[in-house]
Amino acid sequence: MNLENNRYYSSNLDLLALADEFGTPVYVYDAQVISNQYRRVLNAFGGVRLKLKYACKALSNQAILKYMKKLGAGLDAVSIEEAELGLMAGFSPSEILFTPNGVSFEEIKRGVELGLVINIDNISILEQFGNEYGNSVPCCIRLNPHIAAGGNQHIQTGHVDSKFGISIYQLRHIERVIKSCSIRVEGLHIHTGSEILDSSVFLRAAELMFDAAQQFPDLKFIDFGSGFKVAYKEGDVTTDIEELGSELTERFKSFCKQYGRELELWFEPGKFLVSEAGLLLVRVNIVKQTIATVFVGVDSGQNHLIRPMFYDAYHEIVNISNSGGKQRIYTVVGYICETDTFGWDRKLNEVREGDVLVFKNAGAYGFSMSNNYNSRLRPAEVLILDGKAQLIRKRESLNDLLRNQVDIDV
């Protein structure tokens, strides 16, 4: 998003004009930003057999999935429904890594039926998988390295008390299950969380993976998840992808020589690819002053962007209707009958009823975590591609809320 002649633009398209054309609230995604982020990761990890699996839980609209496919990405799916959406978008089963957590073995079997790459994160499922398939169906194993990524504790997945992955200290148990069931393990996987600030944290986890890999003779890839941090506000420390790429690539090449053959290096960026590409445009319903606070109430809420309430996440807010206005202090809240605060005590250019505000960095875990609380409707989604804004999801109607309800006599 850039400011030119007192108007805000995304890829040369006037955001106020988009708000008028598509209505508010509306999610707007810029394909060029996604492409730039994708190329940045590719360039950072040059010189190895790199595969990027887009973590589609971040944003799973079919248009976004098809665009990721066009860029050359594979897919990381955490539910069978995500995997099926990926197949509908044109991904081949072998391009989809299926990494569910806490699901029944029936869902794992469905993944096998679809031909997905199966990633197993607990010993019980590993035993069932081995008893069912033996060495006829290969799998990947997700390990918990007990290394926290840092940052927001709500999005760490590699700590000692995490529900994700099999503890690195249970390797001996894993080996016994693999041997007794003749399981063919072709991949190892870790994911420490979503806010890696220091490449040394990543490299410590890598060393654990390289040590563990020596126990698995049939590996084809090692998957390091993602967790690359993006900036949510000015001055935020972010992951230095280029530094990490240089250091990890060198170490990975050395490991492959020790292992005896060249493996593939996988990553699963989600937030890193789509977060900064997304904007949520909302319109101001009311400006309400109390004894202590000036509230700005907008035509959206935690039902559209729950991250500030769920994760205590920060999203920069900009008044694009009054770019030259005097700055004042506001608390921006939603229209949900619940604690529904997007941001306390924010400096915004003077806000008037009817103005359009933008929440930045809304591409990841925005619409994908939206809901119909208070029977509110989910917003439209728009993709800016090749200089043109295209509707990729219609705004919901009341009929959408009633579609699966069954009318009975009461």
* 139 counts as catalytic: no
β-pairing, 96-98 with 327-333? unpaired
**123-133 helix and 105-114 helix, angle to the nearest 10 degrees:** 50
The angle subtended at Cα 157 by Cα 156 and Cα 159, nearest 5°, is 85
Is the CA virtual torsion 155, 281, 232, 73 positive or negative? Answer: positive
Report how far residue 182's alpha carbon sits from residue 33's, in angstroms, rounded to the nearest whole number: 45
Report how far residue 142's alpha carbon sits from residue 168's, in angstroms, rounded to the nearest whole number: 9
Cis peptide bond upstream of 25, omega within 30: yes
Burial of 319: CB neighbours in 10 Å, binned 0-12, 13-18, 19+: buried
**31-44 helix and 241-259 helix, angle to the nearest 10 degrees:** 50
Q: Residues 56, 140, 256, 337: which is the catalytic one?
A: 337
Report how far residue 279's alpha carbon sits from residue 185's, in angstroms, rounded to the nearest whole number: 41
The angle subtended at Cα 111 by Cα 107 and Cα 115, nearest 5°, is 165
Which residues form the catalytic set?
337
